[in-house]
């Protein structure tokens, strides 16, 4: 099967300011795609803005819907001044446009002295630049960072090839959507065969201050335990949140009409701190995922993720509002998505399986929580730290879970993982 990873190249703000036509093109592409997706899904579901899972989308976007999709693309894209190339690309990738809300562009990667064949996106590793051209505006160039070049070379060493690219604009969806920076996303693909697992890596996903617990289980016995992140990282997140709360209270007391400079200064400080908080959470997720994947690859292990139900996750975040606990939950969705995509990339079996932390693994009775997050069974006396109980359940159900991981569980839809 083919698997995919994506490298996101940010377009510098200086270039956007100098070239408003680049921003204009990205926005027109975004608006055309949004209208196409909205009209298509309304035709398929009868709803104005249906909230569909990836699996539900996959069931709706069947081959017999192709003609309908093509008709909507032909009616929509010219309205936004997009040349025929975009409509043709959207028609070829009509399903992918719905999943990823962007038009795939053809792309070429030059590693040494390969001939330029005139694709819309040209990545030149030798000169360290990315060129975007032939899109109805003058070409523009983005210099590649050393980290991006290294990332690309690592993917090439793993046998991947550059397949396509996206020109997009960051959108924070919600009640009042906001637009961020522009980017070019490079999509790499390679063919993998899923390994035959010889062990289990069990991941217990918690709020970050309760840590991510990882256990390596071999032949029904735990042989290694890991814990992420370090306590210092959690404490830093907590301090940042306290500072954000203080600034938010101060901003609420400022009259923007009388003291606009003070209000602007507080807003800038808030934005800077929130960006920093997001960056720390992202780094924690990236580092934890890297170590989990490394452990699984070293031991030819399947990954079994004990994760809470989606409804429970949403309920917990809503219950905590904008509090620190809500933000300590923020990384769980990122971790889940990243682990699944990287497991897919390396051919590691991946399974999401409920492994209880409040049910006794010895007698199945309901346990009670004591000080220090220890769980005790009133029926048989079993006692263990709450975060270790799922791993003990994995020991007990080792062979059952191992057999389950051998069944393909990846979505039929393509998952693109950024960086």
Give the model confidence (pLDDT) of 359-368 as tens digits. 999 999 999 9
pLDDT greater at residue 27 or residue 170: 27
Strand, coil or helix: 363: coil
How far is residue 156's CA from residue 395's CA, in Å, rounded to a whole number?
A: 38
Does residue 205 register a pLDDT over 50?
yes
Give the model confidence (pLDDT) of 67-79 as tens digits. 999 999 999 999 9
pLDDT greater at residue 321 or residue 80: 80
Q: Which residues of 145-176 are buried (b: 16+ CB within 10 A; e: fewer)?
A: eeebeebbeebbeeebebbbbbbbbeeeeeee
Give the model confidence (pLDDT) of 101-122 as tens digits. 999 999 999 999 999 999 999 9
How far is residue 73's CA from residue 80's CA, in Å, rounded to a whole number?
A: 11
How far is residue 311's CA from residue 308's CA, in Å, rounded to a whole number?
A: 8
* Alpha helices by DSSP H, 46-165: 54-60, 66-76, 84-92, 94-100, 146-157
Share of the chain above pLDDT 70, in %: 90
DSSP letter at 412 equals S
pLDDT value at position 417?
42
pLDDT bin (cut points 50, 70, 90) of residue 311 is low
Give the model confidence (pLDDT) of 366-384 as tens digits. 999 999 889 999 999 999 9
Mean pLDDT of 137-164: 96
SS3 content of the chain, % helix, strand, coil (to 5): 50, 20, 30
The per-residue DSSP string of 200-214 comes to EEEEE---GGG-EEE
DSSP letter at 418 equals B
The residue among 351, 364, 328, 359 whose CA lies nearest residue 409 is 351
**Tokens describing residue 260:** 């606009």
């Amino acid at each position: 099967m083919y698997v995919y990873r994506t490298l996101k190249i940010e377009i510098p703000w200086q270039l956007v300011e100098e070239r408003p036509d680049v921003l204009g093109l990205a926005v027109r592409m975004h608006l055309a795609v949004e209208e196409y997706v909205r009209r298509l899904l309304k035709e398929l579901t009868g709803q104005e803005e249906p909230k569909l899972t990836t699996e539900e989308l996959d069931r709706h976007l069947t081959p017999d819907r192709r003609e309908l999709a093509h008709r909507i693309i032909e009616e929509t894209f010219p309205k936004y001044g997009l040349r025929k190339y975009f409509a043709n690309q959207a028609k070829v990738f009509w399903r992918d446009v719905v999943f990823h809300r962007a038009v795939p562009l053809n792309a070429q990667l030059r590693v040494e002295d390969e001939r330029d064949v005139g694709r819309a996106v040209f990545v030149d590793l030798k000169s360290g630049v990315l060129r975007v051209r032939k899109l109805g505006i003058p070409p523009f160039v983005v210099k590649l960072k050393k980290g991006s070049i290294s990332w690309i070379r690592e993917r090439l060493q793993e046998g991947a090839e550059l397949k396509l690219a996206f020109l997009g604009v960051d959108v924070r969806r919600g009640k009042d959507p906001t637009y961020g920076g522009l980017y070019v996303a490079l999509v790499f693909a390679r063919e993998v065969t899923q390994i035959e697992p010889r062990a289990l890596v069990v991941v217990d996903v918690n709020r970050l201050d309760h840590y991510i617990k990882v256990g390596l289980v071999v032949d029904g016995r735990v042989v290694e335990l890991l814990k992420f992140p370090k306590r210092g990282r959690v404490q830093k997140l907590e301090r940042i949140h306290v500072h954000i709360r203080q600034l938010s209270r101060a901003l609420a007391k400022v009259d923007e009409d009388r003291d606009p400079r003070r209000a602007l200064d507080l807003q800038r400080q808030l934005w800077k701190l929130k960006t920093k908080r997001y960056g720390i959470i992202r780094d924690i997720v990236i580092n934890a995922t890297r170590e989990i994947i490394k452990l699984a690859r070293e031991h030819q292990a399947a990954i079994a993720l004990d994760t809470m139900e989606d409804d429970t996750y949403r309920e917990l975040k809503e219950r905590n509002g904008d509090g620190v606990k809500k933000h300590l939950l923020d990384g769980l969705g990122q971790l889940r998505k990243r682990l699944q995509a990287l497991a897919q990339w390396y051919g590691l079996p991946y399974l999401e399986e409920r492994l209880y932390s409040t049910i006794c693994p010895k007698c199945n009775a309901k346990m009670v929580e004591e000080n220090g997050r220890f769980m005790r069974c009133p029926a048989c006396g079993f006692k263990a730290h709450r975060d270790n109980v799922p791993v003990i359940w994995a020991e007990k159900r080792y062979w059952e879970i191992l057999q389950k991981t051998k069944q393909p569980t990846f979505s039929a839809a393509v998952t693109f993982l950024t960086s």
